[in-house]
Amino acid sequence: MTVVGGPTLPQERRLITPIPGPASQAIHARKLSAVARGVGTMLPVYVVAAGGGVLVDADGNSLIDFGSGIAVSTVGNSAPGVVSAVTDQVHAFTHTCFMITPYDGYIAVAEMLNRITPGAHEKRTALFNSGAEAVENAVKIARAFTRKPAVVAFDHAYHGRTNLTMAMTAKSAPYKSGFGPLAPEIYRAPLSYPFRDGGLDGVSAARRAIDVIDKQVGADNLAALVVEPIQGEGGFIVPATGFLPTLLDWCRANDVVFVADEVQTGFARTGTMFACDHEGLVPDLIVTAKGIAGGLPLSAVTGRAAIMEAPQAGGLGGTYGGNPLACAAALAVVDTIERDSLADRADAIGKTMFEQLSVLRAEDDRIGDVRGRGAMIALELVSPGTTDPDANLTKRVAAAAHSRGLVVLTCGTYGNVLRFLPPLSMPDHLLHEGLEVLAEIFREIR
């Protein structure tokens, strides 16, 4: 029997069993004995269909999705344009390996990324499978171009779980602990974190970072500075205005490649096609993944032609990179974003969330901060009257949301950030219902 998801699923929160229900629990028991425990599961409801703003589980429960599978199903699960493009492609061919006998879809995705990423300069693109793999390749490319070894990443950064990217990721447990030795020549600089740095202005925060980089690394040794324009896993931290442009100017003046990791922020998520667009920032290289292909595995590095052309022929690539199905999906995703003006939709979702969550914050002193951009919004939870992180409360609120049929994610170095990443296909009535569920939970949990 074919299960049909997508936007035609009834757009409702519907709880038939406790969460997780018996069918999910039975599958989960198999998970525990078949899947390595290192691969964690936040909420063991097993999904059978999804679309619009809901996830439907094996027990027939319908949950409101404020997570988009971590900012991936931005255009919605099984969005019609994606389903039809991938269906056509799967009937035509599924793989030839672009490095062996290539195909047009890969080129079309490269042209599309060269067009929509910030800056009108000449660009090139290379395709990969995951965010981490693309970040690694951005570092390879920057090293090949500059012939320098060092890489700077920031406090609270998240860049992935492969050997190089876990070294670039800030948080030890669970990402790095026990997995060393880590890759060398990775250095860390302080971020702009307005809620926790006393509101230090962006330019001063950048100068502070540059001072650390100058003293502890030295521009002569530095290939690349890699930064998430809005940090994802680290806590949806929006740096103060001026922080990123000041870093970019310093990179330009010092022959350092400025790499924007837009894996989580890209593809209309923050109310513009890319988060860099908010400050008119034109990075040298931009790394994309997550929202790029509606859930099919695809990632990319796009950037200045001179830099991208530095690695020798055969130095980049991989068996699956730019898989034809994923490329077909990516073209349909960007068509959908542009046709349906989804960046504006993200902006509208963000305004609604920000407004309602700010009301909640005004009446609840455990909510220290409401922040984010577009449909990437978070609450940072603290002990009242302080900035002390309250990870326990965060866990309890998330668990309560899950049991009421609202999927929310947590993040943050201190585990005290609730993050919201609804698909942009989320109907307004579900968005409001989700926010109402959150308000109820904050009123009830003491």
Ligand X SMILES: *Cc1c(COP(=O)(O)O)cnc(C)c1O
Of 372 and 405, which has the nearer Cβ to ligand X?
372
Task: Choose which of 127, 240, 289, 334 interacts with ligand X (CB under 6 A).
Answer: 289
Of 85-93, 158-166, 192-200, 348-356: span binding ligand X (CB under 6 A): 158-166
Interface with ligand X includes 130 (CB under 6 A)? yes
H/E run at residue 68: helix 68-71
CA 359 to chain centre: 26
Of 63 and 70, which has the nearer Cβ to ligand X?
70
- The 3-state DSSP class for residue 52 equals coil
Of 21 and 69, which has the nearer Cβ to ligand X?
69
Interface with ligand X includes 154 (CB under 6 A)? no
Interface with ligand X includes 159 (CB under 6 A)? yes
Task: Choose which of 75, 132, 189, 407 interacts with ligand X (CB under 6 A).
Answer: 132
Of 27 and 183, which has the nearer Cβ to ligand X?
183
Minimum gap (Å) between residue 433 Cβ and ligand X:
27
Minimum gap (Å) between residue 287 Cβ and ligand X:
7
Interface with ligand X includes 141 (CB under 6 A)? no
DSSP one-letter code for 186:
E
Cα atoms in the Cβ-side hemisphere of radius 13 Å centred on 39? 7
- The 3-state DSSP class for residue 336 equals helix
Q: Give which of 179, 165, 130 is closest to 298, Cα–Cα.
A: 130
Minimum gap (Å) between residue 132 Cβ and ligand X:
3
Of 175 and 354, which has the nearer Cβ to ligand X?
175
| CA 141 – CA 257 distance, rounded (Å) | 9
Total number of residues binding ligand X (CB under 6 A)? 15
Residue 225-264 contact track with ligand X, rule CB under 6 A, x = bound: ---x---xx---------------------------x-xx
Spatial CB neighbours of 4, under 8 Å, sequence gap ≥ 6:
49, 78
* CB of 62 closer than 8 Å to CB of 55: yes
- At what angle are helices 428-444 and 391-403 packed, to 10 degrees? 130
Of 259 and 393, which has the nearer Cβ to ligand X?
259
C-alpha dist (Å) from residue 188 to 175, 220, 318, 384: 16, 16, 29, 31
Q: Give which of 359, 367, 384 is closest to 436, Cα–Cα.
A: 359
Minimum gap (Å) between residue 137 Cβ and ligand X:
12
Of 52 and 303, which has the nearer Cβ to ligand X?
303
| CA 104 – CA 126 distance, rounded (Å) | 14
Interface with ligand X includes 155 (CB under 6 A)? no
Of 52 and 235, which has the nearer Cβ to ligand X?
235
| CA 157 – CA 188 distance, rounded (Å) | 9
Minimum gap (Å) between residue 258 Cβ and ligand X:
15
| CA 407 – CA 421 distance, rounded (Å) | 10
DSSP output for 196-235: TTTT--HHHHHHHHHHHHHHHT-GGGEEEEEE-SS-STTT
Task: Choose which of 21, 52, 76, 160 interacts with ligand X (CB under 6 A).
Answer: 160
| CA 110 – CA 323 distance, rounded (Å) | 13
Residue 178-217 contact track with ligand X, rule CB under 6 A, x = bound: ----------------------------------------
Return the residue nearest ligand X (CB atom).
Answer: 131
Q: Which residues bind ligand X (CB under 6 A)?
A: 130-132, 135, 158-160, 228, 232-233, 261, 263-264, 289-290
